[in-house]
């Protein structure tokens, strides 16, 4: 908002002084004294001012007060408060808008409309010498500003909601400077009880108690879960009845327990007190080791796809998903979600708690009451399903794998039954990904294969199944050192390399070979 200088106003006391001055001809001395007296009165009485967010407002015409109501030019006050204003000359109607707020009033009418509701005015809008005036308090308060009368300064002081929020934030920032820092032991003593282990029928993760019967965790912990329990550090099992609210893109979910949780809830704020280089403490259940504590630093704060991530050197592992990340002031700032393996850099990430605050704030009473598990992404059974349906399912649900080195894509899914009665599922892995990262992510590809085999056996329990994921790439030369049949001429001086990267076979047992 630009600073503007206020124009001079005619002081009523000056008029009074002039009316009481002696008439001309009674002596020059008397006239001179009267003039001095009027100037003195004017100096003692300050001019009427309108101050918005601490700055004097420049007005197109002088403001005036009448019967206790201060009126100012309409365009000046609307603009100063960040609102647009329209003047409809035919109906003499003023329409102001700011965000979701709409204000309209007519000249000479003591009724106005705010967001569709009629309200009474202490004074109507008026037109004086071509300038439209509006009651300043009504307009300001309708736009969610606060108004105070400063008698000492003879001023109307207006604080916009934006300025009020900024002042509150600055006050909060100042308070943060005086917050006591806690040791890792103090943070654990304060919050260890509030972190739980979550076990679903598909996976194991962690969670943070945030309400009487609410737990915050990662979405991927609850994905495809049909049942779940939460385990406290005291060994108490709490049945989960479903998901209250979730966002798959930010990988967060709020789940509900059947009975109230007799554990302290952690406050969910916006995690603004997070700075690169600050110390942090993580509590979760990596590999099922319940409420394991680790510490480190905030290595970075990044954004990806609209999600704010806190990168930390505090070690986490499989099973830490949904765990808590606290700053050195004991504030929950993130939910531990993912990390890179096979690295010495401790590259781990937590979803910023600000997303959880929004998710919790959006949860309705109906969602809490009617919490249920998320729809399954895979069917209960594929017995009797056409091969085309199985092929479509594989393309829809198993087209990619997010690894520590990036995304491995699987394309050209085909499903056939061979002469021996085996159900054979084939696909090709992204050749560039495999060339660069195949060996480094061989273990992750193996785990993916194991999970795929588990689901296929669940949906097709009586089938003999083989899954072949192959590398295929064409070259302008004949590569050497490969097994017979892995290189073939395709004409035109081109050679095709093709070999299986993953060979998984299953029925009542599982056999997997991953080429690294």
pLDDT tens for 116-156 read 999 999 999 999 999 999 999 999 999 999 999 999 989 99
One domain, residues 94 and 156: yes
pLDDT grade, residue 341 (50/70/90)? low
**What is the pLDDT of the chain when averaged over all its residues?**
87
Region of poorest pLDDT, from 106-110, 345-349, 418-422: 345-349
Distance from C-alpha of 42 to C-alpha of 31, rounded to nearest angstrom: 17
- Choice between 94 and 341, residue whose per-residue pLDDT is larger: 94
Q: Give the CATH number for residue 366.
A: 2.40.10.120
pTM of full prediction above 0.75: no
Each residue's pLDDT tens digit, 240-273 = 999 999 999 999 999 999 999 999 999 999 887 8
Residue of 101, 100, 94, 89 lying closest to 76 (CA atoms): 94
Check: CB of residue 95 under 8 Å from CB of residue 103: yes
Domains contained in the chain, number: 3
Q: What stretches of 432-493 adopt beta strand conformation (E)?
A: 465-475, 487-491
One domain, residues 190 and 147: no
- Choice between 358 and 405, residue whose per-residue pLDDT is larger: 358
Q: Give the CATH number for residue 114.
A: 3.30.457.10
In terms of residue numbers, what domain contains 192?
A: 184-370
Check: CB of residue 240 under 8 Å from CB of residue 229: yes
One domain, residues 401 and 498: yes
One domain, residues 328 and 469: no
One domain, residues 225 and 261: yes
Contacts of 207 (CB under 8 A, 6+ apart): 195, 196, 197, 198, 215, 216, 217, 221, 230, 255, 322, 323
Residue 42 domain-assigned?
A: no
In the predicted model, is pLDDT for residue 71 greater than 80? Answer: yes
Residue 24 domain-assigned?
A: no
pLDDT grade, residue 196 (50/70/90)? very high
In the predicted model, is pLDDT for residue 211 greater than 80? Answer: yes
Check: CB of residue 452 under 8 Å from CB of residue 398: yes
Residue 5 domain-assigned?
A: no
Report the 3 state secondary structure along 188-207. Answer: HHHHHHHEEEEEECCCEEEE
């Amino acid at each position: 908002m630009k600073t503007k200088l206020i124009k001079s106003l005619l002081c009523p006391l000056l008029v009074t002084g002039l009316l009481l001055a002696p008439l001309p001809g009674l002596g020059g001395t008397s006239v001179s004294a009267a003039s001095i007296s009027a100037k003195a009165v004017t100096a003692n009485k300050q001019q009427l001012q309108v101050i918005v967010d601490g700055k004097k407002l420049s007005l197109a015409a002088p403001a005036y007060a009448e019967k206790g109501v201060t009126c100012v030019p309409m365009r000046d006050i609307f603009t100063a408060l960040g609102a647009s204003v329209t003047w409809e000359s035919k109906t003499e109607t003023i329409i102001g808008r700011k965000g979701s707020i709409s204000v309209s009033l007519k000249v000479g009418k003591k009724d106005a409309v705010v967001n569709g509701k009629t309200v009474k005015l202490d004074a109507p809008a008026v037109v004086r010498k071509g300038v439209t005036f509006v009651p300043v308090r009504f307009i300001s308060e309708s736009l969610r500003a606060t108004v105070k009368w400063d008698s000492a300064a003879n001023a109307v002081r207006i604080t916009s909601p934006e300025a009020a929020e900024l002042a509150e934030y600055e006050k909060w920032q100042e308070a943060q400077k005086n917050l006591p820092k806690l040791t890792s032991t103090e943070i654990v003593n304060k919050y260890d009880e509030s972190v739980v282990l979550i076990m679903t029928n598909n996976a194991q993760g962690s969670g943070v108690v945030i309400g009487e019967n609410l737990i915050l965790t990662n979405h991927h912990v609850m994905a495809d879960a049909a049942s779940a329990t939460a385990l406290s550090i005291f060994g108490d099992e709490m049945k989960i009845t479903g998901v209250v609210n979730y966002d798959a893109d930010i990988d967060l979910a709020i789940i509900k327990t059947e009975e109230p949780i007799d554990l302290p809830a952690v406050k969910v704020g916006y995690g603004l007190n997070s700075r690169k280089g600050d110390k942090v403490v993580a509590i979760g259940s990596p590999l099922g080791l319940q409420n394991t504590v680790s510490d480190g630093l905030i290595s970075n704060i990044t954004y990806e796809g609209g999600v704010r991530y806190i990168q930390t050197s505090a070690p986490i592992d499989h099973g830490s998903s949904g765990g808590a990340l606290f700053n050195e002031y004991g504030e929950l700032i993130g939910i531990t979600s993912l990390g890179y393996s096979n690295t010495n850099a401790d590259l781990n990430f937590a979803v910023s708690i600000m997303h959880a605050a929004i998710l919790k704030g959006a949860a309705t009473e109906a969602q809490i009451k009617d919490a249920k598990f998320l729809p399954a992404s895979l069917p209960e059974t594929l017995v009797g399903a056409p091969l085309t349906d199985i092929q479509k399912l594989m393309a829809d649900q198993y087209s990619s794998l997010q690894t520590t080195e990036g995304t491995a894509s699987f394309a050209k899914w085909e499903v056939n039954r061979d002469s021996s009665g085996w159900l054979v599922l084939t696909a090709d892995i992204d050749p560039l990904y495999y060339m660069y990262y195949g060996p480094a992510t061989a273990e992750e590809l193996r785990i993916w294969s194991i999970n795929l085999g588990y689901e296929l056996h669940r949906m097709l329990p009586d089938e003999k199944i083989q899954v072949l994921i192959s590398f295929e790439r064409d070259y302008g030369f004949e590569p050497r050192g490969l097994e017979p049949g892995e290189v073939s001429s395709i004409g035109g001086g081109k050679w095709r390399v093709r070999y299986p990267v993953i060979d998984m076979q299953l029925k009542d047992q599982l056999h997997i070979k991953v080429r690294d």
